[in-house]
Amino acid sequence: TKDIGKIEPDFVRSFQFENKLLPLTWVVVRIDGCHFHRFSDVHEFEKPNDEQALKLMNSCAVAVLEEFEDILFAYGVSDEYSFVLKKESELYKRQSSKIISAIASLFTSTYVIKWRDFFPHKELKYPPSFDGRAVCYPTYEILLDYLAWRQVDCHINNQYNTCFWMLVNESKKPEAEAQARLNAQACLKGTQTREKMELLSREFKIEYNSLPLIFRMGSSVFRLKEAAAVENGVVSGKKLEGQVVVDHCNIIERCFWEEHPHILS
Ligand code: ATP
Ligand code: ATP
Ligand code: MG
Ligand code: MG
Ligand code: MG
Ligand code: MG
Q: Is the pLDDT of residue 10 over 70?
A: yes
Output the pLDDT for position 27: 98
User: Quick one: average pLDDT of 121-138?
Assistant: 98
Per-residue pLDDT at 257? 98
Mean pLDDT of 170-193: 78
Q: Which residue has the higher pLDDT, 169 or 243?
A: 243
Q: From edge to edge, which strands make up the β-sheet containing 71-77? A: 130-137, 26-33, 80-85, 71-77, 219-223, 244-247
Say which CATH topology domain 26-154+214-259 has: Alpha-Beta Plaits (3.30.70)
User: pLDDT tier at 202 (50, 70, 90 boundaries)?
Assistant: confident
At residue 255 the predicted structure's pLDDT band, cuts being 50, 70 and 90, is very high
Closest CA to 111 of 129, 99, 85, 125: 129
pLDDT of residue 18: 86
- Please choose from 41, 54, 78, 160 the residue to mutate so as to test ligand 1's pocket, defined by most ligand atoms within 8 A of CB: 78
Mutation pick for ligand 1 pocket among 30, 31, 32, 36 (CB with most ligand atoms within 8 Å): 36
40 lines ligand 1 (CB under 6 A): yes
User: Which residue has better confidence, 33 or 230?
Assistant: 33
Can you tell me the distance from the alpha carbon of 121 to that of 74, in angstroms, rounded to the nearest whole number?
A: 29
pLDDT score at 197: 83
**Average pLDDT score over the chain:** 93
User: Of the ranges 34-48, 75-89, 156-170, which one carries the lowest mean pLDDT score?
Assistant: 156-170
- pLDDT digit string, tens, across residues 73-109: 999 999 999 999 999 999 999 999 999 999 999 999 9
Q: How confident is the model at residue 5 (pLDDT cuts 50, 70, 90)?
A: confident
Q: What is the pLDDT of residue 49?
A: 96
3-state secondary structure string across the chain: CCCHHHCCHHHHHCCCCCCECCCCCEEEEEEEECCHHHHHHHCCCCCCCCHHHHHHHHHHHHHHHHHCCCEEEEEEECCEEEEEECCCCCHHHHEHHHHHHHHHHHHHHHHHHHHHHHCCCCCCCCCCCEEEEEEEECCHHHHHHHHHHHHHHHHHHHHHHHHHHHHHHCCCCCHHHHHHHHHHHHHHCCCHHHHHHHHHHHHHCCCHHHCCHHHHHCEEEEECCCCEEEEECCEEEEECCCCEEEECCCCCCHHHHHHCCCCCC
| Neighbouring-strand partners of residue 32 | 80, 131
Q: Is the CB of 45 inside a 6 Å radius of any atom of ligand 1? A: yes
Complex ipTM: 0.96
pLDDT band at residue 212 under the 50/70/90 scheme: very high
First-residue to last-residue Cα distance in the chain: 57
Q: Which residues pair with 73 in a beta bridge?
A: 84, 222
Whether 258 shows a pLDDT value over 90: the answer reads yes
Query: What residue segments make up the domains of the chain, in order of their start?
Result: 26-154+214-259
The residue whose C-alpha atom lies closest to atom 4 belonging to ligand 1 is 34
